[in-house]
Amino acid sequence: MAFNIASSPHAHSRRSTSSLMRTVIFCTSLGVAAQWYFFGWGVLIQIALAALVAVVTEAAVLKLRKRPITPYLRDNSALLTGVLIGLSIPPLAPWWIAVIGTLFAIVIAKHLYGGLGQNLFNPAMVAYVVLLISFPLQMTTWLPPQSLAAEPVSLTDSLMAVLTGFTTDGFSIHQLRLSVDGVTMATPLDTLKTSLTTGHTATEILAGPVFGTIAGIGWEWVNIGFLIGGLIMLKMRVIQWHIPVGMLGALFVISLLGFMISPDNTASPVFHLFSGATMLGAFFIATDPVSASTTVKGRLVFGALIGVLVYLIRTFGGFPDGVAFSVLLANMCVPLIDYYTRPRTFGH
């Protein structure tokens, strides 16, 4: 009888890593569909580009490390990383944005630490933060929802804009960002943060055209899609409830306190829960079993820490959304969290 020794975390199910990764990718489909519906074909183009680069880079690195390529590619971890990076990139960002980010995620954030199961940080979020800091202009060029866009963008136009920066009719990315009123559009979180600095109240800002019923046209449905996908993963026991509940619960509580103290300078808890990358982060990013806490109590603390950091960065930080930064900061705290939340040894 042979005993295999491996480090935690261990998946307590009969599913293989490949099956788990495929399920996670499948559960992103509702959020992906909503993002494509409201923001155009560029969403699918970025996902396809990042996924292709992730798989090719994974194979190349495995070849250099003299590891078997096919078994590692079949675990679908690189494919999932590509999907998450593609979802995080603006739909019409230049093609090299996805390439650079994915290369950094696979080569540096994953294989530099030894590969799957040994990375300290979530590779997709490392890539996003590197891109946001290095190329802030390209990473903030989100399009307006299709219903508010001055120029409709077809599949061909989206592909040309990603590859060349211009559509077939000669429209630039800046022109495509204009709404029907001729205003350059931004994400609801960015619009709220920028407008608050000009002396407007949150009530006045939220009455703008970019804000929908809950948290912004398009974004509220994107978050609902990822919420449904996350609940499916919970039902299938692909992930555990502790981290999403900890993150969303902490975000709700602290945003409610902030809203009660200063309603003119902060958005409601519902807005924070259904805007930006909240649901994507809670169910598909923070729950990464490799870089998250491994104890039961630790997962609750880990999730709560992310929720608090998201609110603080959105409210007081220099970036409109703080999910990626919050996840990476919480990843740094995982050894400390696990140390103080480890279960008592039997008999002690």
Q: Do residues 129 and 34 share a domain?
A: yes
Q: Do residues 122 and 256 share a domain?
A: no
Q: Which residues, including other chains, have CB under 8 Å from residue 70's CB and lie 6 or more apart?
A: none
pLDDT of residue 255: 92
pTM of the shown model: 0.88
Handedness of CA 270, 146, 184, 96 (dihedral sign): positive
Q: Do residues 271 and 335 share a domain?
A: yes
Token couple for 274: 């259904």
Q: How many domains does the chain have?
A: 2
- Residue 192 belongs to a domain: no
Q: Do residues 120 and 220 share a domain?
A: no
- Residue 47 belongs to a domain: yes
Q: Do residues 34 and 146 share a domain?
A: yes
Domain span at residue 334 reads 215-341
- Residue 104 belongs to a domain: yes
pLDDT of residue 265: 80
Residue 84, CB-side half-sphere exposure with 13 Å CA sphere: 32
- Residue 208 belongs to a domain: no
Q: Do residues 224 and 166 share a domain?
A: no
- Residue 2 belongs to a domain: no
Are 127 and 46 a contacting pair, CB within 8 Å? no
Q: Do residues 151 and 55 share a domain?
A: yes
- Residue 43 belongs to a domain: yes
Burial of 8 (0-12, 13-18, 19+ CB in 10 A): exposed
Q: Do residues 22 and 161 share a domain?
A: yes
Could you tell me the CA-to-CA distances from 279 to 48, 268, 320 in Å, in that order? 22, 16, 16
DSSP states of 304-332 as a string? Answer: HHHHHHHHHHHHHSSSS--HHHHHHHHHH
Q: Do residues 152 and 234 share a domain?
A: no
- Residue 80 belongs to a domain: yes
φ, ψ dihedrals at 287, nearest 5°: -85, 5
pLDDT of residue 74: 85
β-pair partners for 179: 149
Three-state DSSP state, 184: strand
Could you tell me the CA-to-CA distances from 53 to 50, 101, 213 in Å, in that order? 5, 10, 37
Are 127 and 109 a contacting pair, CB within 8 Å? yes
Are 260 and 303 a contacting pair, CB within 8 Å? no
Q: Do residues 70 and 136 share a domain?
A: yes
Query: d(Cα 137, Cα 134) in Å, to the nearest integer?
Result: 9
Q: Which residues, including other chains, have CB under 8 Å from residue 124's CB and lie 6 or more apart?
A: 81, 84, 85, 88, 105, 285
Are 185 and 177 a contacting pair, CB within 8 Å? yes
- Residue 1 belongs to a domain: no
Identify the residue whose tokens are 């569909």.
Answer: 33
pLDDT of residue 7: 55
Burial of 317 (0-12, 13-18, 19+ CB in 10 A): middle
**pLDDT tens, the chain, 348 aa long:** 565 655 555 555 567 778 888 899 999 999 999 999 988 899 999 999 999 999 999 999 999 988 888 888 888 888 999 999 999 999 989 999 999 999 999 999 998 888 877 888 899 999 999 999 999 888 888 887 877 776 778 888 889 988 988 888 787 777 777 765 555 666 777 877 787 777 777 777 777 777 777 777 888 999 999 999 999 999 998 999 999 999 999 999 999 998 888 887 888 898 889 988 899 999 999 998 888 888 889 999 999 999 999 999 988 888 888 899 999 999 999 999 998 888 776 666
Query: d(Cα 173, Cα 234) in Å, to the nearest integer?
Result: 39
Q: Do residues 161 and 223 share a domain?
A: no
Could you tell me the CA-to-CA distances from 149 to 46, 72, 178 in Å, in that order? 20, 42, 6
Query: Which of 185, 204, 233 is a domain's end point?
Result: 185
Q: Do residues 163 and 261 share a domain?
A: no
Query: d(Cα 4, Cα 314) in Å, to the nearest integer?
Result: 45
